[in-house]
Structure 1
């Protein structure tokens, strides 16, 4: 079954981008009524994060999210098999000068890339510009794992570390000139996490960003992938954060979450709501899911 799915994704990547995007949206909408557990996770997240919306509005938002989730699955074949020229065409980069300036100044760089649905597309696109370091989590399905790894490493000389490789290997890679494509916003449990507000709710959040920035003396550049209506996405790289890290780790992590909230509100349907972001609760608090 996995190989059949890979074969279908391969066939689809030959389609014109607007048609591929439309088919992907349709597939996502077909998933919506059947993916009961993931739909529950999405609806719970939206209820917690957008209490100002009524239930019909949250359902509409959830459906838009599933449509774009399906699109991101169908467009994944482009990351695995499309040419470099085509990827550059469908994923333009805004703000690349911020990255180039930091590199010219000899700074280590952290590209702060939250979990928006265009994340992998943006990640593959940036490898056409730089040799980066990133964290890769092996997938249980060996067939999909092979192709996911291929998509993230097919261009240039990319360094994919596991979470067990630790901070030292990441800092060493950054100091050698590799920007770190860093995904900071999943719930990895209590270990190495602190509870800081995310949409006003205490959320277990990894505190590594300020520690890595301090250890590597790295500039932190926000890196946001925005899916476009007719397919593809725009990768937006912002200017380095000023006065980061500060003197307080909790305050630095809260600043990251506050920034992320602001970006999510500009495109709420594109955040990765199928993840149980509030899975880990402070001791004594009830579970949400």
Structure 2
């Protein structure tokens, strides 16, 4: 099956960006209709985070999100096969001066689960020495393929279960850590902090990792546009980390919210972000 997927994505990577977007729109609309379980997760998240929107507005936003998620999956063809020159054309980078100014300092790239996270991280690795956290796949063939793709421009992969030591080592060697701390990883090492006004299990790892390694934290967010992506590197977070890891995690959520509001349809709403609840609180997803 992996070879069939490989052939399919190889064919797709020859298509123009807008043609893939059109295919993704069709596929995403179909998935929105048939993927009832994930649609309900997304609808719950949007109701919690955007209660001021009408039901129709949230449904329209979620349908568009399905279309963009499907498009991003089809764009794996670019990630798997497009040369660096093509990726540089597809993903425009803004704010590289912030990284250049930190060339002698460890850097954590604070990112979020947007539809462009995969192509954005790969694009950056074509010009910047990168380190990426990786979750093992149950299918050995797919696992090997994904690992090879993510590291095809020399980036280093760190398996999540290996802990923080490989990350600290890589940061001190000058690798830039592509770090996405915005999902529900369970109650361990997490605090219940507001995310769009709703208590969410929020890890404090970015603050602790920055403190131990001496790394600057640079916001790094990818936005899909009509003819490509725009990867924005902002100035390093001032006074981060502080002496309070919980306050840092709250600030992290606030920074993330501001980026999501710029393109809410592009954020990954199909993840059960509020699955872990404080003791005694009812579950949101019926599981």
What is the TM-score when the length of structure 2 is the normalising length?
A: 0.96
Counterpart for residue 240 of structure 1: 236
1:95 is displaced (CA, Å) by 0.5
Number of residue equivalences: 285
C-alpha distance in 2, partners of 1:220/1:279? 27
Counting only pairs closer than 5 Å after superposition, residues 98-109 of structure 1 correspond to structure 2 as 98-103=98-103, 106-109=104-107
1:148 is displaced (CA, Å) by 2.1
Counting only pairs closer than 5 Å after superposition, residues 106-185 of structure 1 correspond to structure 2 as 106-156=104-154, 158-185=155-182
1:2 is displaced (CA, Å) by 4.9
Q: Bigger CA drift: 130-139 or 269-278?
A: 130-139
Counterpart for residue 259 of structure 1: 255
2:210 to 210, 213, 218: 213
Counterpart for residue 220 of structure 2: 223
C-alpha distance in 2, partners of 1:168/1:185? 21
- The answer to whether the 8 A contact 1:111-1:181 is kept is yes
C-alpha distance in 2, partners of 1:249/1:6? 43
DSSP 3-state at the match of 1:117: coil
1:217 is displaced (CA, Å) by 0.9
C-alpha distance in 1, partners of 2:52/2:2? 41
Whether 1:30 aligns to 2:27 is: no
- The answer to whether the 8 A contact 1:3-1:143 is kept is no
1:42 is displaced (CA, Å) by 0.6
- The answer to whether the 8 A contact 2:9-2:80 is kept is no
1:184 is displaced (CA, Å) by 0.7
C-alpha distance in 1, partners of 2:22/2:216? 38
DSSP 3-state at the match of 1:102: coil
Counterpart for residue 62 of structure 1: 62
DSSP 3-state at the match of 1:64: helix
C-alpha distance in 1, partners of 2:33/2:282? 27
Counterpart for residue 72 of structure 1: 72
- The answer to whether the 8 A contact 1:108-1:217 is kept is yes
DSSP 3-state at the match of 2:230: strand
DSSP 3-state at the match of 2:237: coil
Question: Which residues of structure 1 form unaligned runs of 5+?
Answer: none
> What RMSD in Å do the two structures reach over aligned CA positions?
1.2
DSSP 3-state at the match of 1:190: coil
C-alpha distance in 2, partners of 1:228/1:144? 29
1:200-240 Cα shifts (integer Å, max 9, x gaps):
1110111101101111111100000001123x311110111
Provide runs of 4+ in structure 1 moved above 4 Å: none
DSSP 3-state at the match of 2:243: coil
C-alpha distance in 2, partners of 1:248/1:160? 29
